[in-house]
Structure 1
Amino acid sequence: MRKGRVPFIITFLAPPLLLYVVFVLSPFVQGIQISFTNWTGFTPNFDYVGFQNYTALIGDSAWWHAVTNNLKLLIVIPIVTLALALAFATLLTRGGTGGTQHGLAGQRLYRVVYFFPQVIPVVIVAIMFQFIYSTQSGLLQQTLDFIGIDLLELIPNGPLGNRDFILWAIVIAAVWSTVGFYMVLFIAGMQQIPREFFEAAAIDGAGRVRMFFHLTLPLLWGHVQVSLVHIGVGALDMFALMSVMARNGVSADYGGDVMATQLYRTAFALNSQFGYASAMATMLLGFSVLLAVLTFRITRRERLEY
């Protein structure tokens, strides 16, 4: 039986590995290769220019503006999203007195409501929030009118027309659309923690806050670590939301530029500079890998067994 196990395993692993190499690794390698050329993307000829595209990036103010926006997203989105997800998950699993009760009444309904945005396509979320932020009878405008506040006085040109506010308006949409996914992930982790731990902590006089930070969070740290990497890589992308919500044809669009939208515009709008855009994509790939490595190193701690 052991003798035929290796060929059996290889038989099942070979097709997916082949597909991964052809459709994932191969495009990465080709993209890195193109980043060292001056290819326009539409001609069969190109010249290798060495590190010229990368040195040009160093002096590209538009690129560094996009990088700065991504760094802002990288700080705000994980903190806000994971904090809300942890809060919701805790309320729906340990919502009783002292935190020992298994969930609140109607918790299944709450889970569906909170998770529902996750099943909506990102483009639909972007279009929906465009209507919400609209200064012409948008939901936000109508709500503020009801309490006697003018949206245009509060935010000149509206949330998506204000260069200083557009990035944060899109952050709200991003958090709303993703918090349900991480809530469900944390609920799954919390349900694996034995109830006796919480009962013992409650008997010892631990309150909800202390119980969360000294019991729930340490035992849930593996889930938090993976979530940080996942949402961090997502914050370095943000292409779908930005390409829809920050493309209104006004000067405020510049305030919503990120690396993904900048490289897309470079490849398909600015004289089809595929070589230069590939250098941007390679830098984005490097940032993503570096983020994952640093996150796992910084958040690494001894695994708690229970």
Structure 2
Amino acid sequence: MHKRGQWRLIVTFTVPGLVLYTVFVLSSFAQGVQISFTDWTGFTPDLNYIGFDNYLRLVHDGSWWRSVLHNGILLVVIPVLTLGLAMLFASLITRGGAGNLRATPGGDLYRILFFFPQVVPVVIIGILFSYLYASRGGLLQGVLDVVGLDMLSIVPNGPLGNPRTILLAIAVAAVWSSVGFYMVLFLSAMGRVPDELYEAAALDGAGRLGSFVHVTMPLIWAHVQTAFIYLAIGTIDSFALVAVMSQTGAAADFGADVMSTYLYRTAFSLNSQFGYAATMGTVMMIGSVALALVTFRLTKREEYEY
């Protein structure tokens, strides 16, 4: 194919996508940034520019910083548990280390079972876990009934009504819904590692753990890095699950308000402060980009070819 014809083919397939992305994504971001410098309520036709007043207000907003703290807690708990369990399950299902070069019997069934929560809508997951944590008739209370315990005596107001436990309860639901997806991602990466490398490690005296640390992890590190960034950005949002399980926006949030739910209430409940809510959205966007860049920088390692 001629170089000119090659460029025509590339332009033909990329330009429509770039145009759509610019119109429906980049322009929305730009408009949100513009609105963040106004006091727009969402209903008036005019935009009154107020400079950086919304940003200065955000710096002194205690409710905002509380939601940032909650996001920070989830940002530590959810990725660590999700990726740790996903890596563990992927290692158990496949070779994962020396002396275990064949897949575990029934591995395909395990993949389907673990991946199943990923196809369930987040709202449904939130409702399911809300019933699971229910103090009357919930699955957790049913398990405690077997040993003669009352959940309310252990956790006052239940896991979703207690500020000390609600974030952990939501994190458990988030981990359950996500771990299967990342397990499949790691399985795909592990499946590309040549058997010869594990055999060589075994000949050098490396055990199962040693092979995982020195062979598996270095060769799939790019997948781990990508998975962490993708999961971290999703955790920064985490609107649907938190909103459903904590009923944020309808009443008190019982100590689980995160940045996205506080933004929602500001825009649609607290006198329709769209300008101030756009400021929160802009800060969240900048924070997500900064998190991705910092993560890439801190987790950058030498790439291995195999």
The normalised TM-score by structure 2 is: 0.97
Distance 1:287 1:30 in 2: 18
Aligned structure 1 segments of 4 or more residues deviating by more than 3 angstroms = 248-251
Q: Distance in 1 between matches of 2:16 and 2:270?
A: 39
Deviations for 1:55-102, whole angstroms, at most 9, x for unmatched residues?
000110000000001111111111111000000000111168x44322
The answer as to 2:278 corresponding to 1:289 is no
**Structure-to-structure mapping, 1:83-162, within 5 angstroms:** 83-94=84-95, 98-162=98-162
Aligned residues: 304
CA distance in 2, matches of 1:286, 1:162: 32
Corresponding position of 2:34: 33
Corresponding residue for residue 68 of structure 1: 69
Identify unmatched segments of 5+ residues in structure 2.
none
Determine the C-alpha separation between the residues in 1 that align with 2:272 and 2:290.
28
Distance 1:266 1:99, change over 3 A: farther
Give the corresponding residue for 1:7: 8
2: CA distance, partners of 1:213 / 1:262: 41
Deviation at 1:174, TM superposition (A): 0.2
Q: Shift of the alpha carbon at 1:301?
A: 1.0
Equivalent AA in structure 1 for residue 76 of structure 2:
I
Coordinate RMSD, CA, aligned: 1.3
* Contact residue 100 and residue 195 of structure 1 kept, 8 A: no
Distance 1:41 1:6 in 2: 44
Residues 177-197 of structure 1, C-alpha deviation per residue, up to 9 Å, x if partnerless?
A: 000000000000000000111
CA distance in 2, matches of 1:183, 1:216: 14
1:215 Cα offset (Å): 1.1
2:95·2:103 contact (CA, 8 Å) conserved in 1?
A: yes
> How far apart are the structure 2 equivalents of 1:295 and 1:239?
22
Question: What is the match of residue 171 of structure 1?
Answer: 171
Query: How big is the shift at 1:47?
Result: 0.6
Question: Residue type of the partner of 2:118?
Answer: Q
**Could you tell me which residue of structure 1 aligns to residue 242 of structure 2?**
242
Return the letter of the residue paired with 2:102: H
1:163 offset after TM fit, Å? Answer: 1.3
Structure 2 CA distance for partners of 1:202 and 1:145, relative to 1, 3 Å: same
**How far off its partner does 1:234 sit?**
0.9
1:247-278 Cα deviation digits (max 9, x unpaired):
17664x24110000000000000000000000
Give how far 1:152 is off.
0.7
Query: Is the CA contact (8 Å cut-off) linking 1:70 and 1:259 kept in structure 2?
Result: yes
Verify the 8 A CA contact 2:162 2:254 in the aligned structure 1: no
> What is the CA deviation profile of residues 213-257 of structure 1, one whole-angstrom value per residue up to 9, with x for unaligned ones?
111111110000101110110111100101100117664x24110
Are positions 1:260 and 2:260 aligned together? Answer: yes
Offset from partner CA, 1:95-136 (integer Å, 9 cap, x none)? 68x443222111111111111000101111001101101111
Determine if the alignment matches structure 1 residue 277 to structure 2 residue 268.
no
Q: Structure 1 length as normaliser, TM-score?
A: 0.97
**TM-superposition CA deviations, 1:275-294 (whole Å, max 9, x none):** 00000000000110000000
Which stretches in structure 1 are left out of the alignment for 5+ residues? none
Distance 2:96 2:112 in 1: 17
Matched with 1:200 is: 200
Work out the CA distance in 1 between the residues paired with 2:67 and 2:74.
Answer: 11
Q: Secondary structure at the match of 2:237?
A: coil
| 1:15 shift after superposition | 1.0
Counterpart in 2 of 1:305? 305
SS of the residue corresponding to residue 256 of structure 1 reads: coil
Deviation at 1:145, TM superposition (A): 0.7
Partner of 1:59: 60
Check if 1:180 corresponds to 2:192.
no
Deviation at 1:198, TM superposition (A): 1.0
